[in-house]
Amino acid sequence: MYYVPPDQLQGCPPWNGDLQQAKQFLIQSGMYNVSVNFPVIVPAGDPIDFTAAQIWAQAIHSIDPNIVMVPVYQEFATTIGLMVPGQDPMPLYLLGWIADYPYPFRLC
C-alpha cells in the first residue's frame, strides 16, 4: 500500500535509465558543469555496497566529469554521530533500504 508507481508521481520527470537523458536533466537544472567532490559513506566491511557506490560514482562522473564521488568505508557509530539536526554535516550514505517503508505519519 505504500508503493507509488512512477507514473503516479506528481511533478517528477520520468527517467528511463539512460545516462544521456540524465545528462539532459542535469543541464536543464542549471547545475551541469559545476565542480563538486563529495564522499559516499558505505558501512565498514561491506564490499558489495562499496562496489555499487563505485559503479554509481563512475556513472555520475560519465554524465558530468566535474562531479567526483568517492566511496569511503565508515564505522556505523561515526555515521550515526554525524546526524546532527540543523548542522547538516552528513554526507551521502547508505544504512539500508526497504521498499515498504511507510510514508511519514502514515503508520497504520
C-alpha cell at 76: 556505523
Quick one: pLDDT at residue 80?
Answer: 83
53: exposed, middle or buried (Cβ count in 10 Å: 0-12, 13-18, 19+):
buried
CA distance 88 to 24: 29
Q: What is the pTM of this model?
A: 0.68
pLDDT in tens, 53-78: 999 899 999 999 999 999 999 998 88
CB atoms within 10 A of CB 40: 21
Cross-strand pairs, 73 = 42
- Span 92-107, mean pLDDT? 57
C-alpha cell at 19: 545516462
DSSP bridge pairs for 93: 41
Q: Write the pLDDT tens digit of every residue in 32-45.
A: 999 999 889 998 98
Cβ 91 vs Cβ 41: under 8 Å = yes
